[in-house]
Structure 1
Amino acid sequence: MPPSAGAHAIPLVPPTHARPPLGEPHPPRAPTTAPNQVTENTLRPDRGGSAGRATSVLANFFAIQRVKNIKQQHTTASKIFHYDVSITPEIPPVRARQLWSFLESSPDFARERTKVAFDGRANAFAASELQLVQAAGGAIGVQIELPDGSGRSASSDRPDAKKNMFTIKIVKVSEIDIQELQRFLDKTGPFTPSCETAIHALNVVLTHKPFSSMANVGRSVYVPENATNLGGGIEKWEGIFQSIRPGPQRCYLNVDITATAFIKSGNAVEVLRSMDQRFDPSRSMHRGDVARLEQLLKGCMFTVSNRSDRPRRHKVIGISATAADRTYFDMTTNDGATRKVSVSEYFEQTYGKRLRYPALPCIGSKGKQAVCYFPIEVCSIVPGQHYKKKLNEDQLATMIKSTAVRPDVRASKIKSALRTLDFDNNPYLDSFGMRISNTMTQVRARVLSSPAIEFDNHAQEKPQQGAWQIHRARKFKRGARLDSWSVLVYDRENRDLVQMVTTFVRMLFGVMCDAGMNVTMSSPHIQYAQLGGRMEQEVDEARQRSRGLQLLVVLFPRKGTIYPQLKAYCETRNSGLVTQCALLSKLRRVNDQYCRLLSCKINTKLGGVVSTLAPNEMPFMDRGSTLVVGADVTHPSPGEDSSKPSVAAVVASVDNEAYKYIGRVLVQDPRLEVIEGMQSVMAEIITSYKKVTGHHPKRILVYRDGVSEGQFAEILRTEVTAIARACTQLDARYRPPITFIVVKKRHHARFFPQDNRDRDRSGNCLSGTVIDTDIIHPTEFNFYLQSHAGLQGTSKSTLYHVLMDENKFSSDTLQQLTYNLCHVYSRCPKATAMVPAVKYADMLAYRARYYLDYGVMDGKGGSSGAVQYGPIKISDDLMNKMFFV
């Protein structure tokens, strides 16, 4: 945004030396990979698949029709000029962009022939060389001052003037050859460092204007219009995501709508009112409410209205424990003496303002020597502040409900987003000659055929729109045996509850038997307990009452903390116990179908098999023994202690039907994405596989979740290598072919069917829709697959990216196998959005966080003190069962 009329920028001052030292690097810097490096990832084995019914869909990808110097035959220029930017003292990106705007408006800089796009951190890009930097020998130093928030520049006679004075050093880094990017897109050249930097540069050019004028989080910009109240002082803002993606022949702009939580802005009293509609500002606040307010606002920026001539920003460091009329500090009087005064008394004496709500606490900010407290009523929360903590259940439910829009509505919103971005009136795009299409790209797609599902006695079902029925005519493929089970109910015992639980237990027993399970105990013991009691003692009592207890069914009114405590206790002690939990609210209208879904989980946990794919539906698996592996790493949730460790989980099939899985979990350094113990875990899993089947797997197929594109090379170097070493560790001659596939759900590709026959009931693409043309990677082996049926909102396809393929899959074979595997999920008769191996790994990793949170890491049901990094000990009785489903 342009500077105000009263602001001024100090003229550019060439440095005394040609290239000033930059100090510590500011990421991201220019790529440091070797020149002419070709990707190590597996290349596409063919021109794409051909299986399935051909169709087309619209994708939220907009073709970049032209970039200056790309495919222009009448010019020899094909460069983007890359500059390193260093700002002293360091400031956040929002402030840095404001500073850059003032720099651009300075007389000398305004005479440049090109706009310069700045990423707010350390990189700037220009379509032609900056004459000022060139004249100074490749580097310049700039001094500039920003206004202090009141719209005035900081005068040198003010004590805080230095806070607004900055030095900017601009150093030419490189000249990026745009033609290298075009050669890569045309498949006539490798993916070089210049290609990577060119894409980054175009993204910076694209986002410079919106990032400078709108609130931004990550790669998205947000606007407060049509904000949705989430409660607790939080509101949902809708935003626009945009990112340039390389595709065959050309680049595309991926545009999507997003949503995230922001702290409600405005007067702090009104923010309090939005947290609780019963809030009365004339009365003192409860200690718990003060704590909630502090949790909400800590770290936020606010302004105060007591001095309207200088609405400076302050940062919240805390909320006073006492009210404004009972919060005291030492004030120095005119005669040099000091006396105690309350905040409310000070404001009345200094500003002639009697507080309306002296019973409310104060907002604290860092002062020169001590905390400065401001009455809440004179404070206003600055708009556009992202809420980074974890939403509670109610807030999350409101967020999901308000963002779940049908595909046609989402497509309309994306088109509206283009008007907001207003590419035609963006001087930075003009400077780089960028022209972007305003219509979605029509993409070739195919709809794969659904596999047949097989039950007992070779009975088969054909899925319809990604789902099939488990009705009474179909028995489980292999029913488990259940000789001893018990029921634990967490609620106060009364006549109605006893009748409801008894009815449920009778129906569950009947359904399990009807489905093919061998249940010899028809009347399990039912025990009632209170949520405030000792869970460990109640579980142990259930064990004592039922000899050889195999299953404990636990019913409670809500999950709360009892659920994770129960799972942690029963799954990590030496004598493990399979549990199946259910909410009492579900039992009020219990029916056959609900009990059948519970039976699916119970049968699987006890070692049974609900259903498999028909024998001819897994040709790759039929050729021999295949180990299907799923792996994932989970990190602390937003708002949690950042020092909490990350948890890695690896699961693997131990049968030829890819139904039964075993899992192992590891605790590792916080935020570490690479699974450090992959070699030892895989060696243990392969050993367990051999114990079950009698032989080693002949091939390994790995689906790895949660890896970003920037980590592909590291994952190849570490995890893929670790799997190969695990094999040779067991036998120097054992070298099964490995296929390693990254599974990505965190992307912004959305697909919109054009023909009614390509839509399911929710308006989304049909289950089995696969896209491997037009918008995919120019050279590498990846594809989008929508395997599940839409329920609500716009479905998101899963992106599968092959990093290594020693099994030599064709596009058709891998796509069909992956789609078919999505139908082998134990929890429900529906195709999953991603292969079950990945879902199981995610579930197990999430479960392991319970073990960390509730201190049962020693495997004996007690706390082991400090968290130990490495493998988590799961009960010997459970470690080779699917207890986590």
Structure 2
Amino acid sequence: MEEFSTTDVMKGEDDNKKIDDDNKNTEKATPELPPPANEDGKLDKCVFPIRPNIGSKGSKLKLFANFIKLYFPNKLTLYEHDVKYTIFLRGKESGKDKIPPYSSLQKRNLLIKAFSSVVKSAESLKMFRKMRHYYYDGGNALISTAPVVQSDSGEKLIAKNISSFDILFLIGQPRQYVVDIGTLLSSSNLMNFENQRTEMRKLEFITSSVISTQAQFIMNGNFFKPSFQPCKIGERFELYSGMFKSLRIIVGSEHLNPDRWYLAMNVDVKRAPFYAAQNVMNYILDDFDARTLEMKKKWDSSEISILQKRLIGLKVKATNTNFVYKIEDVIGKNALEEKFFCDEFNEEISVDKYFFQKYHIKLRYPYMPLVKNRRCCFPMEILELVPNQKVPNRKLDENALSSIIRHSSITPFQRKTEILQKISEIGLLKDGELGRETGIYHTKDFMTVTARVLDSFNILHGRDSRNQCVSTVTRSQWDMRNKHFYHTVKIDNWAVINFSDVGIGDLKRFVQALICKSLECGIKINRNWSVLKDNVERNAAVVESVLRKLIRDHNVTYALCFLPNTKDWFRGFLKYLSETKYGIITQCVLKKTVIKAMRDRNPDTLYFNLALKVNSKNGGVNNEVSQESDVIRTWMRRGVMFMGIDVNHPGNVGIKSSDTKKTADLEPSVIGVVANCGKSMSDYRMQCRLQSSRQEQLDGVVFKEIILWFLEKYEKNNGILPEHLIVYRDGVSESQFKMVINNEVKVFHKAFKQLKENYNPKLTVIVVTKRHNTKFFKTDISARTPVQQQNIPPGTVVDTAIVSPFLYDFYLCGHQGLLGTSRLSHYIVLLDDNKFDADSIQMLTFALCFTYQKCSRSVSLPSPVYHAHHVATRGKELFLAAIREKGDKNVEFKEIEGKLKILENISNSMFWA
């Protein structure tokens, strides 16, 4: 998650003439004070680096940011009320066992809906007559602009029949709270984080009071409601339009040290898929056609599994009672087979017969598996999906995801127009009711920022003197025609394995074309493959046998594998066997890629992109950044190591596990770490490890082992230990910044000391994220501007106005946006022993966007971050494959982790690329 400033936790697309050095901003920042440490060496009060200066390199460019400045009183009086609630089944006595088995998010939205309903009821009008604007957080907090009229013992409210539940609210006495906004925005208040968090939270709540009562679904600062003309995503889903809103304390100036900060509102438009309200039988028609559902009498375990994947976790309403339930399971029995003793009829009765006798419902699909909620079983045909349920990403297939991306990818001008429309819904106009009551209102226009566009870097190819050449980058892309890769490899013994139904003729033509393109790029690949295995069964035992024979009989080191288009367990299992057991580098090609190559009139780009992977997977390096810039010569050299860190977390739905035993029945989080300790600056190596599920903080013992492994590998390949270490850390929220400094940085220093007593390289740690809602727009675009010219150019950097006054942060666009609205990556420098100035860290970060080895264009993130993400994902695939091979989920993590060790000959290349 991304946070814009330390005062507020953000919950949460796409991806000019130089300024003279004489114009460089020479303002100096306040000197950084040394952080106080306790006996354990941890920081009692974490002090982050202060912005050293404002960058000056590049050509200036005026942009709009989706921030609106707010006007406010110096002090605002609000009233807090504690809220207690009890949830019970409609018409039943309250009890803890009656709380619905919803997720925390579903439960919070249920409570918000219930509270909004009861406030609007006639009996509550007297009580709430003075509380014109309020915000209830779906838990235990209510904030209002006026106190609620109530007795000394508090007020009781009952919301009836909210999704089959009655909810009792007990509202406590009000506590007056004065938000001192003037002091909050004083630059002398620079490091008072905790007070800022508390006060900003209250301001956030009260300024969201209008949109919170209108929204049907609220999540992490996002407010969604169905549109009058919903956008259909197939027959299952609808695309809701929503908005994101968050208050931010920003610098608000082009200067380094203004006297006063600004309060601004960050607003963005959102799209999210929700389940379409429909009968459950209609919902599953994409998997089973209607005639099959009527005729089918037996359901095997694989079909039951499909139904479980689709239905478990959904909220449904029974049409016979209007009660709402959450589907917890799909069982193998149907309505004729499942029986229970019915007190009402005093007999054992089938579900089918019960519905006929009790409700006069003759089931049309009596052979369908039943769904289960606690002890009750229901026929699917009497259940309807409850509206306003957000669809988790894991339940979206490839077609649905493609459709959502297509509908959500709007042009920058469209997004800008939609955001301005959404702002009017917030209710903070000067003459609006909320604006008059609070004294907080906003300007009508976006904030304008002065960005800079950094020059692109030239690209170096061909390592030997005869073939070495430099490519000029245009619009973040470079031409590789008639050029060799920077460092090419030799591939003697390799194989082709066909696990798909691609015809042998098309397969051979495809492979021959790839060989030709690889040779053209300088890869010394044997024109004759060692072996071709056709029509290989996708069976674990068969695959293992094939790989074993390739090693034994042909000494194969690389295999080109053709797979069907389906996404399932097989690819991960193939990678697991080849990388951890047999030492074969595999490259997977989907059937649809072969079909595309056969149909395209000019598939040269397709084969080139595959050749990039052939080279990098087998130990080569495709390109380096040319050493023409002072920044590149200073930092992209021997003695400097770049590291990328990411953690891959499992989804929210997992198998229950013991609290006392760390077992593999709960999917772990996976640490992915890469560092450029190979043959050149862009030649990375990897390590991945398992740790406790959904834990972002790196395990200290494990992380130290990883650091030591990279340092030793670097020394072995370069002859020296790195003097400078620059770390890009992904996946960290603002609330975890102190954790990074207090824990992870400490592990680095322990590893340095363990390696050599006096070894102490200079360390810089930068958090990078794209999970934020800040957007930038050119000031001169209109509906008539060609789409390709609407996005901001690559190299755009913003380090003034809308950045944080508390952190050393900046926004940087590393890529050319091709679809939708470009999202700049957000960088926060948490530690800087290397003492970078603003220009140096920004240019170096931009340069690293040119060293991603899988394409001939710059990308949106520095290459260490991208590689770390892929490594963490690969670790997850290997874990799931190891569990599948073991066939027993009740095993220790350590036993599984031992199976995930990458073989030495594989780990000496970027095999994950």
TM-score (norm 1): 0.84
Q: Select 1:316's aligned residue among 316, 323, 327.
A: 327
- The residue aligned with 1:633 is 647
Per-residue CA deviations over 1:580-607 (Å, capped at 9, x if unaligned) read 2222433342644333322222222232
**SS of the residue 1:616 aligns to:** coil
- The residue aligned with 1:851 is 878
The 1:748–1:344 alpha-carbon spacing in structure 2 relative to 1, beyond 3 Å, is same
CA distance, structure 1, for counterparts of residue 888 and residue 352 of structure 2: 51
* Kept in 2: contact 1:303–1:313 (CA 8 A): yes
Deviates more, 1:714-723 or 1:748-757: 748-757
Task: Give the alignment of 1:395-410 within 5 angstroms.
Answer: 395-410=400-415
* Kept in 2: contact 1:266–1:381 (CA 8 A): yes
Per-residue CA deviations over 1:409-451 (Å, capped at 9, x if unaligned) read 2222223323444544975555433212343222211111000
Question: Structure 1 unaligned runs (5+)?
Answer: 1-26, 29-33, 71-76, 152-159
Amino acid across the alignment from 2:766: I
Deviation at 1:747, TM superposition (A): 0.9
Deviation at 1:331, TM superposition (A): 3.0
- The residue aligned with 1:216 is 218
The 1:614–1:189 alpha-carbon spacing in structure 2 relative to 1, beyond 3 Å, is closer
Q: Select 2:242's aligned residue among 239, 244, 247.
A: 239
Q: Indicate whether 1:297 and 2:311 are aligned.
A: yes
* Kept in 2: contact 1:788–1:831 (CA 8 A): yes
The 1:301–1:827 alpha-carbon spacing in structure 2 relative to 1, beyond 3 Å, is closer
Deviation at 1:875, TM superposition (A): 0.8
Per-residue CA deviations over 1:357-412 (Å, capped at 9, x if unaligned) read 25365865658xx4264x54543322111223432222222222222222222222
Q: Select 1:475's aligned residue among 484, 490, 500.
A: 484
- The residue aligned with 1:486 is 495
- The residue aligned with 1:142 is 155
CA distance, structure 2, for counterparts of residue 449 and residue 866 of structure 1: 51
Deviates more, 1:761-770 or 1:698-707: 761-770
| CA RMSD between the two structures | 3.5
Task: Give the alignment of 1:861-880 within 5 angstroms.
Answer: 865-868=891-894, 872-880=900-908
**SS of the residue 1:475 aligns to:** coil
Amino acid across the alignment from 1:87: Y
Amino acid across the alignment from 1:875: L
* Kept in 2: contact 1:281–1:359 (CA 8 A): no
* Kept in 1: contact 2:677–2:717 (CA 8 A): yes
Q: Indicate whether 1:542 and 2:557 are aligned.
A: no
Deviation at 1:811, TM superposition (A): 1.0
**SS of the residue 1:476 aligns to:** coil
The 1:261–1:630 alpha-carbon spacing in structure 2 relative to 1, beyond 3 Å, is same
Q: Select 2:681's aligned residue among 658, 682, 686.
A: 658
CA distance, structure 2, for counterparts of residue 235 and residue 224 of structure 1: 8
CA distance, structure 2, for counterparts of residue 527 and residue 281 of structure 1: 39
Amino acid across the alignment from 1:674: Q
Per-residue CA deviations over 1:725-782 (Å, capped at 9, x if unaligned) read 2111111211111110001011111222234799882631111111111111123111
- The residue aligned with 1:87 is 85
Per-residue CA deviations over 1:236-278 (Å, capped at 9, x if unaligned) read 3232122222211212222222222322213444444576564
Q: Select 2:61's aligned residue among 47, 55, 66.
A: 55
- The residue aligned with 1:809 is 836
The 1:557–1:290 alpha-carbon spacing in structure 2 relative to 1, beyond 3 Å, is closer
Per-residue CA deviations over 1:178-236 (Å, capped at 9, x if unaligned) read 333211xx455433322111221122223333333322233212222243443473333
Q: Select 2:52's aligned residue among 45, 48, 52.
A: 45
* Kept in 1: contact 2:310–2:395 (CA 8 A): no
CA distance, structure 1, for counterparts of residue 592 and residue 218 of structure 2: 41
CA distance, structure 1, for counterparts of residue 212 and residue 131 of structure 2: 22
- The residue aligned with 1:4 is none
Deviation at 1:517, TM superposition (A): 2.7
**SS of the residue 1:147 aligns to:** strand
Deviation at 1:571, TM superposition (A): 1.0
Deviates more, 1:741-750 or 1:752-761: 752-761
Deviation at 1:149, TM superposition (A): 4.6
Deviation at 1:489, TM superposition (A): 2.0
The 1:321–1:234 alpha-carbon spacing in structure 2 relative to 1, beyond 3 Å, is farther
- The residue aligned with 1:155 is none
* Kept in 2: contact 1:760–1:790 (CA 8 A): no
**SS of the residue 2:847 aligns to:** helix
Q: Indicate whether 1:330 and 2:335 are aligned.
A: no
- The residue aligned with 2:23 is none
Q: Indicate whether 1:518 and 2:524 are aligned.
A: yes
Q: Indicate whether 1:800 and 2:827 are aligned.
A: yes
Q: Select 2:809's aligned residue among 751, 776, 782.
A: 782
Amino acid across the alignment from 1:413: E
Deviation at 1:719, TM superposition (A): 1.0
Q: Indicate whether 1:96 and 2:111 are aligned.
A: yes
CA distance, structure 2, for counterparts of residue 490 and residue 529 of structure 1: 6
**SS of the residue 1:619 aligns to:** helix
CA distance, structure 2, for counterparts of residue 199 and residue 218 of structure 1: 15
* Kept in 2: contact 1:857–1:873 (CA 8 A): no
Aligned residues: 810
The 1:365–1:825 alpha-carbon spacing in structure 2 relative to 1, beyond 3 Å, is closer
Q: Using the aligned pairs only, state the percent identity.
A: 24
TM-score (norm 2): 0.81
CA distance, structure 2, for counterparts of residue 341 and residue 862 of structure 1: 38
Task: Give the alignment of 1:463-612 within 5 angstroms.
Answer: 463-472=473-482, 474-491=483-500, 497-520=503-526, 522-533=528-539, 534-547=542-555, 549-558=556-565, 560=567, 561-573=569-581, 575-588=582-595, 589=597, 591-612=603-624
CA distance, structure 2, for counterparts of residue 513 and residue 864 of structure 1: 48
Amino acid across the alignment from 1:867: F
Question: Structure 2 unaligned runs (5+)?
Answer: 1-8, 11-37, 88-95, 100-106, 252-260, 657-665
Per-residue CA deviations over 1:618-638 (Å, capped at 9, x if unaligned) read 133157611100000001135
- The residue aligned with 2:204 is 203
Deviates more, 1:122-131 or 1:204-213: 122-131
- The residue aligned with 2:439 is 433
Q: Select 2:719's aligned residue among 689, 694, 698.
A: 694
Q: Indicate whether 1:883 and 2:911 are aligned.
A: yes
* Kept in 1: contact 2:848–2:863 (CA 8 A): yes
- The residue aligned with 2:348 is 340
Higher relative contact order (CA 8 A, sep 6+): 2
The 1:331–1:598 alpha-carbon spacing in structure 2 relative to 1, beyond 3 Å, is closer
- The residue aligned with 1:255 is 267
CA distance, structure 1, for counterparts of residue 863 and residue 389 of structure 2: 38
The 1:167–1:555 alpha-carbon spacing in structure 2 relative to 1, beyond 3 Å, is same
Q: Indicate whether 1:460 and 2:470 are aligned.
A: yes
- The residue aligned with 2:230 is 227
The 1:569–1:361 alpha-carbon spacing in structure 2 relative to 1, beyond 3 Å, is closer
CA distance, structure 2, for counterparts of residue 131 and residue 229 of structure 1: 45
Q: Select 1:766's aligned residue among 790, 793, 804.
A: 793
- The residue aligned with 1:14 is none
* Kept in 2: contact 1:233–1:296 (CA 8 A): no
